[in-house]
């Protein structure tokens, strides 16, 4: 075998290794808190949230290796979700519950799920998100056939798949995701509202504001195909990621949210956000899921 053949073989081996094995990106801790409140006006809470931790555990059962030579590292990934039953639609509380239940069930049935992210593959991530949305839509259609009264139900869904230093944000509706870094707050998601569509077309924000609660994209039992936005974030130590329903974002200006998130203590920030929404009117259900990334 020539040197060229050896070099080609090494390159091919490296290529396969790069494709199937990601570098070790441990060294981060994740703290997560959450809360929901019915608000001051609504009679029932149509918001639902969920935070899950998925693990990949390697356990050595049989081997003639010496135990002290084997170092198997457990892996952790986190899923954060906020769903807001569409205001004015019947069974909004059922819809927001169903979308989270369907997502968790689909995740449990997934043949594979991303535990390591080497390079963000937009097409692959889009396919994964589309597969989940299709499963969710199937469940909404199934329930609508069983009970036609549920045919008009709808909900938003904003989720984050968190595997530091990566976060994948998927989004349908007007529940939001924000990231705060170095004391500055940035909205990660784009509202799927008529107001935002009008602003995108040149309408002044103050003139479009009246249409802020009119959704142009949501999970429902009517449409056959719904497309989610998908965003990839490279997260850093001390970043704070906030998922919330519009009961917070409509009631509390971004400047106030940013100032609250500058405070120490994640639980204190969560409570202060809910309190601010209530003090500013509390006209809708309020849901907050807040996490902070720290170095080990």
Residue ranges of the domains in the chain?
A: 45-55+72-295
Beta-carbon count within 10 A of 211 CB: 17
Q: Is 166 helix (H, G, I), strand (E, B) or coil?
A: strand
CATH of domain 45-55+72-295: 3.60.40.10
State how far the Cα of 207 lies from the Cα of 150, in Å rounded to an integer: 33
What whole-number distance in Å separates Cα of residue 109 and Cα of residue 126? Answer: 18
- As a 3-state breakdown, the chain gives helix, strand, coil percent values, each rounded to 5, of 35, 30, 35
Which range has highest mean pLDDT (49-58, 67-76, 102-111, 170-179)? 170-179
Strands in 286-295's sheet, in edge-to-edge order, are 28-37, 286-295, 240-244, 176-181, 184-187
**Which residue from 257, 262, 236 is spatially nearest to 176, judged by alpha carbons?**
257
> What tens digit of pLDDT does each residue of 208-225 get?
988 988 999 999 988 888
pTM beyond 0.75, yes or no: yes
Q: What are the structure tokens assigned to 60, written together?
A: 């050595």
Determine which of 21-25, 83-87, 203-207, 276-280 has the lowest per-residue pLDDT on average.
21-25
Q: Which two tokens stand for residue 259?
A: 């100032």
Residues 6 or more apart whose Cβ sits within 8 Å of residue 226: 133, 137, 172, 217, 218, 219, 220
Quick: pLDDT tens for 17-44. 555 555 555 578 999 999 999 999 998 9
Contact 276, 256 (CB under 8 A): yes
Extract the tokens encoding 67. Answer: 């135990």
């Amino acid at each position: 075998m020539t040197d060229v053949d050896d070099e080609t073989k090494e390159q091919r081996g490296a290529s396969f290794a790069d494709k199937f094995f990601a570098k070790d990106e441990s060294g981060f801790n994740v703290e997560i808190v959450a809360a929901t409140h019915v608000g001051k006006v609504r009679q029932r809470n149509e918001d639902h949230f969920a935070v899950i931790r998925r693990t990949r555990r390697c356990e050595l059962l049989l081997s003639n290796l010496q135990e002290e030579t084997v170092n198997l590292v457990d892996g952790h990934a986190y899923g954060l979700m906020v769903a807001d039953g569409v205001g004015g639609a019947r069974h909004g509380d059922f819809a927001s519950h169903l979308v989270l239940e369907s997502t968790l069930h689909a995740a449990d049935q997934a043949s594979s799920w991303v535990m390591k992210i080497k390079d963000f593959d937009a097409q692959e991530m889009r396919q994964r998100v589309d597969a989940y949305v299709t499963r969710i839509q199937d469940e909404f259609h199934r329930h609508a056939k069983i009970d036609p009264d549920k045919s008009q139900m709808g909900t938003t869904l904003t989720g984050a798949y968190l595997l530091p230093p990566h976060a994948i944000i998927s989004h349908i509706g007007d529940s939001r995701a924000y990231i705060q870094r170095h004391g500055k707050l940035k909205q990660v998601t784009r509202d799927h509202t008529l107001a935002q569509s009008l602003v995108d077309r040149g309408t002044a924000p103050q003139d479009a504001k009246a249409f802020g609660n009119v959704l142009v994209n949501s999970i429902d039992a009517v449409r056959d195909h719904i497309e989610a936005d998908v965003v990839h974030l490279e997260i850093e130590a001390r970043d704070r990621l906030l998922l919330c329903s519009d009961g917070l974002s409509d009631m509390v200006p971004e400047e106030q949210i940013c100032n609250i998130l500058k405070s120490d203590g994640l639980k204190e920030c969560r409570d202060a956000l809910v309190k601010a929404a209530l003090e500013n009117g509390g006209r809708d259900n309020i849901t907050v899921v807040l996490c902070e990334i720290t170095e080990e």
